[in-house]
A = this chain, B = another copy of it.
Amino acid sequence: MQYSAIRKMAQMSSQAGIISFSAGAPSVETFPAEEILGVTSKVLAGESQCALQYGATLGHSGLIDAVMELCAERGLPGVRREEVAITGGSQQALDLLGRILVDPGDTVFFELPSYIGAISVFRNLQARMVGVRQADDGIEIEDLVARIRQIRGEGGRAKVIYLIPNFQNPSGVTLSPAKRRKLLEVADEYDLLLVEDDPYGEVYFDSSQPADLVPVKSFDLGGRVIYISTFSKILAPGLRTGWVVAAAPIIEKLDLAKQACDLCGSMLDQRIVAECWKQGIIQKHLPGIRVFYQAKCRAMLNALVDHMPAGIQWTRPAGGLFLWLSLPRHLDSGELLLECLESERVSYVIGQPFHVNGEGSHTMRLAFSRENEDNIALGVQRLARVFKSHPG
């Protein structure tokens, strides 16, 4: 599996002394460790019997309350209790949804590029995976429609569109408001499910932006959008807590699948996260996270402008942890990575595995989440040195 090769390369890249643009995890500096310690002590002192026992497969009810409130704040009001499932991070949500929604041979549409963890889930399920071009304002609707028609014309089952609308992993691209509505119309017209994966939506850099980030799910009257999110980027990923909002019959199926998968998630984690929300720790903490990543992103963008040779392009994210860089098409980011690691001690993730159609060998993901601003500038200079030494 390519997914594993990526992870191994990421481990190699995390050696001491290497400036890492490959590490995709949120920065430990953003975790409110002290507040979590306080909350955890409270949970274990007051609710230890429940926190240490098996619990509901779909999650702790207090955390479901928190998710309903959080969704309302994101422009997704009126979510009902039976429309929510708590999962072991959003990765488990993807795995469970894949299992209940997709049969072998069903077609799933992905942005080019898309999230490796989702690609891996649907590949394991033997789905047919079809890539759709992405522009600066998100997935290209015409290309999507053309692909759907092609699959249907061939007698295939066009089943699911998987997409990350906000500050996408890996590209950093955000879907425009107009395209959000258009996308739902397409899903309606061709009777597709839409899996809307939103791990990064809260990590926006411009405070006027949230209105543009309203979930596609908020326009969904027919129950065809399945919204996924996580506390990994807004609290701490080690607590492994994500969630799904979907029509009640989908949540019922997910319940059955999850029972056989793990009986229930970590009750301690779920109660800690619920209490962090109840005490306002997450809410209070978010502005700081936004500023933290914004500064890093700006440092990377500035360094790219200052140092990159002509012929190299990159995205300009309005939030999140990543940006996407494209070399001239004749260059192979996989071949250059070894040189970057050995000569320049700087790492990135190669772009090809993010493409379900095998393209993207000249692309790469740069994460600005891990390094400080000085190292970001230094790392970009090093990358630029390697790229300049391979002219067109």
Contacts and interface: CB of A to CB of B under 8 A. Distances in A.
A268 B88 CA distance: 13
A28 interface: yes
Interface of A: 1, 3-4, 7, 25-26, 28, 31, 33, 36-37, 40-41, 44-45, 48-55, 57, 88-89, 91-92, 95, 117, 120-121, 124, 232, 236-240, 255-257, 259-269, 272
5 contacts: A33-B48, A37-B45, A52-B237, A89-B262, A91-B261
A240 B266 contact: yes
Contacts of A4: 255-256, 259
B92 A261 contact: yes
Contacts of A263: 89, 91, 117
B37 A49 contact: no
A45 B7 CA distance: 29
Given A121-B260, A260-B95, A52 B36 contact: yes
A26 B267 CA distance: 15
A89 to B, nearest CB: 6
Contacts of A261: 91-92, 95, 261
Given A3-B256, A266-B266, A268-B239, A49 B28 contact: yes
Contacts of A121: 260
A272 B44 CA distance: 12
A28 to B, nearest CB: 4
B55 A238 contact: yes
A238 B117 contact: no
A268 B265 contact: no
A91 B260 contact: yes
Contacts of A260: 3, 91, 95, 117, 120-121, 124
Contacts of A57: 7
Contacts of A36: 44, 48, 52
A319 to B, nearest CB: 20
Contact of A28 (B28, B53, B239): B53
B37 A44 contact: yes
A40 B53 CA distance: 16
Contacts of A52: 28, 31, 33, 36, 236-239
Nearest to A123: B260
A259 B120 contact: yes
A343 B44 CA distance: 38
Given A88-B88, A88-B262, A238 B31 contact: no
Contacts of A117: 259-260, 263
Contacts of A7: 57, 259
A2 to B, nearest CB: 11
A272 B37 CA distance: 13
A70 B260 CA distance: 26
Given A52-B28, A53-B31, A240 B264 contact: yes
A239 B239 CA distance: 11
Contacts of A264: 240
A95 B257 CA distance: 10
A89 B269 CA distance: 14
Contacts of A50: 238
Contact of A259 (B3, B28, B41): B3
A49 B31 contact: yes
Nearest to A37: B44
Contacts of A54: 25, 232, 237-238
Given A28-B53, A95-B262, A265-B266, 9 more contacts: A3-B259, A37-B45, A88-B262, A91-B261, A92-B262, A238-B268, A239-B268, A240-B267, A268-B268
